[in-house]
Structure 1
């Protein structure tokens, strides 16, 4: 698998550095400062989940997990710890490259706008300073909580946000009542957005997707 990935990345013009252990990976991360981490959870010296935790202690570089662990609980834990995406083995090379492209596009999009600027996603526009949201040019009336949730998604566009992550960010807790409240707010918010932009990642959470312009526009 390692030699195959190296060949694929070289053919795709993605520079690659490899580590054989968690210790080596963390050391190389500090010295090389990669733009993207592709992490296998099955490391010989440390669980890959602990590597995510350590990296998130000092960096927000995107992390794509590749793992033979296919249980939803493993995926949710990795995403909760800060992984940006999770791809279970076996997977196709085309899907891996597609997910890398999504992460790269998100980096480009978030990297070109300052935190206080305007977020635009197709027909959705968020003016952070004015706390104003427009959908297809029309002012959208959101409750303070709906606006807060929408901003959270816009700051993480393209990334799956788990339910635990969302409730912790919003209410600083993850009680069952918080999960119920989240479902209610998500239903109302998605309805106001005409069921665009935010999709469900079943069993995990939600993700804001990029709205592609219509053909010919």
Structure 2
């Protein structure tokens, strides 16, 4: 695979997203191996995009059943294609889940039915307002001891943690798309508190990223 960084393009099927995904999947897998249930359970991915992450992770957890979701149903065909190509029989068909629309996730049959939820590299190109929906959705879907893992680059208490993260933020901002840019962990914590959730752990990751682990308060 080409190791050169492609032009920034947040579309889930872009070369840039594929490049970024290939760089971060191993470190995230390491965290999942530590945090996911060791016995049978169900795991949901928010904003699955192309499906590259869930299809890479699933074979390492044969005892778990994975559920991809996305707001954009146009990516579902690619998720299914990867699942078939990889022979992953522990991945369900993708489901429409829009974090701005509770009607897509307030299903009584799904309440408290997932042991873990993860979401990768969404907030740098999504409005911080979806954090409220994410936390409310997680509080509805997670089991009592379930976790929500959010991965990506973030500011911490209003500050950039590295010069490279500030440069990345400025690059995103230069595209003049209102929602593009690094968000603050403090805002995620505030959204979590509104829905009975709290930040349990911050894990430093390669390339100046973080894994944020949320659970019930």
TM-score (norm 2): 0.31
More helix by share: 1
More strand by share: 2
| Structure label with greater radius of gyration | 1
Give the number of the structure with larger relative contact order, counting CA–CA contacts within 8 Å between residues 6 or more apart. 2
